[in-house]
Each structure stands twice: as C-alpha cells, then as structure tokens.
C-alpha cells in the first residue's frame, strides 16, 4: 500500500529560482515538487507538495498530518528560527518527520544556526540543495519499512 507523505514548505520558498540564486540555486519549487513526486513513485510514496507564507496555514497542515498519521518532510524556511507555534504543532506528530533545508543553515548567518523545530523532528537533512528533499523521502521510506511487521 502506498503511503501518503506531505512535503510542506514555508515562507518565500515559492520564490525559489529567483530568490538569492547564489544561495538557493536556480531550481524552482515546481522543479522540487516534480523531483519529490518522482522520488515518491520510486519509493512507493504518494507525495503531496505544498507551500505557504502563512504560519496559520502551515499549522493547519501539520495538524492534518498528525490527525491522519501522515509522515512529513518539512522545510520550515524562516519559521525554523522563531516559530514556537510550529514547533509545538510538529511535536504532536504521529509519524516520521524530517526537517529539510536547501542550504546549510550552520554555514550561514548566526541567526540561522538555531532551529526551534529540530528537537521534535526525527532528523534533519540540510545543505544538499534540492537533493535534500530526495534524501528526506528516502529516510521516510526507510523509517516506514522499519515500522512494518518484519521490517
């Protein structure tokens, strides 16, 4: 049975491709969504990619995932560094959660070094560009396989 996975993206990620290409590259969010869907098909995951600049909408999606026992890949973007509301919502997760970042926050400005959500994630993948999402989906697939009887 195919497992549904939400790939949630926070503020400004709709601007990928034009936003700071020296940091984030020229890959668009649509490119990342296609990459995620392709990886999902290979991994027997049904991947749904969403993006919002609205913290309340992000919280609703996280609640939806928790209620539906859905694994999540989350790029919180700027919410990473200050959104305790998002951290508290993610703490209610009921399935694997992988935090992703396109760039390596630890190699950037000091304010980006702290993630308030990392402590409630299963793990974090950062610094591999769009490939960070593929690695996160692979981790989700592996974690799901481990949870299955005989896995």
Please enumerate, by residue number, every residue annotated as part of a binding site for substrate. 75, 81, 88, 102-103, 112
Q: Among this protein's residues, is 133 annotated catalytic?
A: no
The alpha carbon torsion through 125, 108, 26, 55 (nearest 10 deg) reads 70
> With the C-alpha atoms ordered 42, 24, 9, 76, is the resulting torsion angle positive or negative?
positive
Of the residues 84, 101, 113, 133, only one is catalytic, namely 101
Of the residues 24, 63, 113, 133, only one is catalytic, namely 24
Q: Among this protein's residues, is 101 annotated catalytic?
A: yes
**Do residues 104 and 126 make contact, with C-beta atoms less than 8 angstroms apart?**
yes
- The whole-angstrom separation of Cα 59 and Cα 49 is 15
- Would you name the residues annotated as active-site residues? 24, 101
């Amino acid at each position: 049975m195919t497992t549904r996975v939400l790939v949630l993206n926070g503020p400004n990620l709709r601007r990928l491709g034009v936003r700071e290409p020296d940091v984030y590259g020229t890959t668009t969010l649509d490119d990342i969504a296609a990459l995620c869907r392709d990886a999902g098909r290979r991994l027997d995951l049904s991947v749904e990619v969403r993006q919002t600049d609205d913290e309340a909408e992000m919280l609703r999606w996280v609640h939806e995932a928790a209620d539906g026992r859905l694994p999540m890949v989350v790029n919180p973007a700027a919410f990473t560094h200050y959104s305790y509301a998002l951290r508290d919502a993610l703490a209610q997760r009921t399935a694997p959660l992988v935090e992703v970042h396109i760039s390596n926050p630890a190699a950037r400005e000091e304010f980006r070094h702290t993630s308030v959500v990392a402590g409630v994630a299963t793990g974090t993948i950062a610094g591999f560009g769009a490939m960070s999402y593929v690695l996160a989906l692979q981790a989700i697939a592996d974690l799901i396989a481990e949870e299955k009887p005989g896995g």
